[in-house]
Amino acid sequence: MVNAVILDTRERIYAGILLTGIAYFMFSTQDAFIKLLVAGLSVWQILFIRSATIFIACSVIGGRELLAKSWNSSAFMPMLFRSFLILGAWLCYYNAARYLQLAELTTIYFAAPVIVTILSIFILGENVPLLRWIAVLLGFIGVYVACDPAVLGISIPVAMVLVAACLWALSIVLIRKIALYESSMVQMMLNNGFFLIIAGIPLIFVWQTPALSDWLLLIGVGAIGGLGQWALFEGMKRAPVSVIAPFEYTSLVWAFAFGYAIWGDVPRREVFFGAVLIFLAGMVIIVGERFRKAG
């Protein structure tokens, strides 16, 4: 009986790891598509069509029952607030995508896991051990190296990515536990329903009729983004955050690969060094947490 429970737990954790890995591959693919689209279309338009695609797909799958559950969800207000945070992160990140390589974008954006540590002190009142402070310092050194002020500089696009990282980190700190008590489909309905309303207003003034190739990319962004959201929420239900968190850093690998395959981008040496330092910072935080909890 005990062995069966252990086996079931392991299978759930393995499933969580697999789903999380799939999620970050999907998000990296989505980012590559959006970087192609922002050259000619507004971020508002991309966000609207992406959200509409996901919302319609969820409505078809879940029907009226899902709509009712979403409307009556106890997560309604927290999800609304989080949607505004993510909207700000979206606008900053994807507008900066016009000017930076995908590898540069992703590397700088990975200041977010480190920023979570700092925010957890002020928002959650957590006691942060010395090892985590070392990781915070290492992570910010990595961001600094990747930005390389002598080459890339602390420009407006770089600042926008850093703001996006802060907003994303804040959204994680505020409602990290929602996935444990609310279904993935309800979360997707609420997130994308809010985005439809928020993005729909400015869309009136910035709408441009997409070409057929752009329509295909836009629908692809919605489909891939929706699958990524579902996989991430489901992965968080099945495995502890400390187990699946390292797989967020696989996005760095995919960003480097897509950047080279699509645009022929060869990241500067400093971006590689910065990515390694940020990765190590995340590992220090995760390993430190596991040892602290074990003790």
Q: What's the pLDDT score for residue 105? A: 77
233 confidence band (pLDDT: 50, 70, 90): confident
Greater model confidence, 30 or 74:
30
Residue with tokens 């699509």: 262
Q: What pLDDT was estimated at residue 2?
A: 45
pLDDT confidence bin for 176, thresholds 50/70/90: low
Amino acid letter, residue 259: G
The pLDDT score that the predictor gives to residue 59 is 94
Give yes or no for residue 7 having a pLDDT over 60.
no
The SS3 call for residue 286 is helix
**What is the spatial distance between Cα 45 and Cα 38, in angstroms, rounded to a whole number?**
10
pLDDT attached to residue 239: 73
Q: How far apart are CA 241 and CA 238, in angstroms?
A: 9
User: What is the pLDDT confidence band of residue 294, given thresholds at 50, 70 and 90?
Assistant: low
Residue 293, pLDDT above cutoff 60 = no
| Entry pTM | 0.75
* Res. 3: pLDDT tops 50: no
Structure tokens at 239: 């495995």
Q: What pLDDT does 77 receive?
A: 84
How far is the C-alpha of 168 from the C-alpha of 88, rounded, in Å?
A: 9
- State how far the Cα of 86 lies from the Cα of 241, in Å rounded to an integer: 20
Q: Is 50 exceeded by the pLDDT of residue 38? A: yes
Please give the mean pLDDT across all residues of the chain.
79
Cα 34 to Cα 29: distance, rounded to the nearest angstrom: 9
- State the DSSP string of 97-110: TTTS-HHHHHHHHT
Which value, to the nearest 10 degrees, does the dihedral of the CA atoms of residues 163, 167, 172, 175 take? Answer: 170
Distances (CA, A) of 177 to 134, 171, 182, 233: 26, 11, 9, 11
pLDDT at 4: 46
Q: Which of 244, 286, 265 is nearest to 105 (CA)?
A: 265
Q: pLDDT digits over 244-289, tens only?
A: 666 676 777 788 788 888 888 777 787 778 778 877 876 776 676 5
The first and second tokens of residue 163, run together, are 């703001």
73 band by pLDDT with thresholds 50, 70 and 90: confident
Is 126's pLDDT higher than 70? no
Residue-level pLDDT at 177: 65
- Over residues 77-93, the mean pLDDT reads 85
pLDDT at site 18: 85
| 33-42, 51-60, 92-101, 225-234: range with lowest mean pLDDT | 92-101
Residue 57 has pLDDT above 90, yes or no: yes
Distance CA(10)–CA(126), nearest Å, equals 29
How high is the pLDDT of residue 61? 92
CA torsion through residues 286, 106, 20, 178, sign: positive
**pLDDT (0 to 100) of residue 31:** 87
- The confidence score (pLDDT) of residue 265 equals 78
pLDDT for 240 beyond 70:
no
Q: Which residue has the higher pLDDT, 150 or 203?
A: 203
Question: Alpha-carbon distance 168 to 86, whole Å?
Answer: 6
- What tens digit of pLDDT does each residue of 94-125 get? 888 888 877 777 777 777 766 766 766 666 56
Q: Band of the pLDDT at 151, cuts 50, 70, 90?
A: low
